[in-house]
A and B are shown apart, each in its own frame.
Chain A
Amino acid sequence: MRIVASALVLSIPILTAAEAARGETLTVTLSHHQVRITSTYTGAELAVFGVIGRDGATAPRSGDYDLVVTARGPRANTVLREKRPFGPVWLNDAQVKFYDLPVTMAVLSSRPLDEIADVDLRRRYAVGLDTTRASNIAPPGAAVREEEFREALIRLKTQSNLYVQDERGVSFIAENVFRATVPLPATAPPGAYEVEAALFRGGVRLAVTQTSFEVTKTGLEQFLAREARERGLLYGAAASALALVFGWLATVVFRRD
Chain B
Amino acid sequence: MEFYLPIAEMPVHVGLVLAMSAAVGFISGMFGIGGGFLMTPLLIFIGIPPAVAVASVAPQIAAASTTGVLAHWRRRALDLRLGLVLLAGGVVGTLLGVLFFNAMRRVGRLEPIITLSYAALLGTIGGFMLVESVRAVLRARNGAVVDPRRRPRPRWFGLPFRMRFPQSKVHMSVIPPLAVAAAVGFVGAVLGIGGGFLVVPALIYLFRIPTAVVVGTSLFQILFTAIAATLFHAATNHSVDLILAMLLMFGGVFGAQFGAQAGKSLKGDSFRLLLALILLATAARFVLDMVVEPREPFSIMLSEVLP
Contact = CB atoms under 8 A, between A and B. Distances in A.
Interface of A: 37-43, 74-85, 88-92, 95, 100, 103, 149, 152-153, 155-157, 186-187, 189-191, 217, 220-222, 224-225, 228-229, 232-233, 235-240, 242-244, 246-251, 254, 257
Contact of A243 (B7, B10, B227, B306): B227
Nearest to B290: A89
Nearest to B294: A83
Given A225-B6, A233-B234, A243-B62, A88 B306 contact: no
A20 to B, nearest CB: 34
A257 B74 contact: yes
A169 B72 CA distance: 61
Interface residues of B, number: 62
B7 A225 contact: yes
B303 interface: yes
Contacts of B299: 80-83, 92, 156
Nearest to B68: A247
Interface string B114-147: 0010000000000000000000000000000000
Contacts of A156: 296, 298-300
Interface of B: 2-4, 6-7, 9-11, 47, 59-60, 62-67, 69-71, 74, 109, 112, 116, 226-227, 230-236, 238-240, 242-243, 245-246, 249-250, 253-254, 256-257, 290-294, 296-306
B6 A221 contact: yes
**What secondary structure prevails in chain B residues at the interface with A?**
helix
Contact of A228 (B7, B70, B109): B7
A235 B4 contact: no
Shortest Cβ-Cβ A-B pairs, 6 listed: A247-B66, A236-B234, A250-B253, A243-B62, A152-B298, A243-B63
B233 A246 contact: no
A246 B66 contact: yes
Given A221-B6, A225-B7, A232 B235 contact: yes
B256 A103 contact: no
A1 to B, nearest CB: 12
Most buried by B among A75, A186, A191: A186
Given A80-B300, A82-B298, A95-B301, A240 B66 contact: no
B248 to A, nearest CB: 10
A187 B238 contact: no
Contact of A84 (B116, B249, B297): B297
A221 B4 contact: yes
Contacts of B294: 83, 90
A232 B226 CA distance: 16
Contacts of A237: 231, 234
Contacts of A187: 9-10, 47
Nearest to A226: B6
A156 B298 CA distance: 8
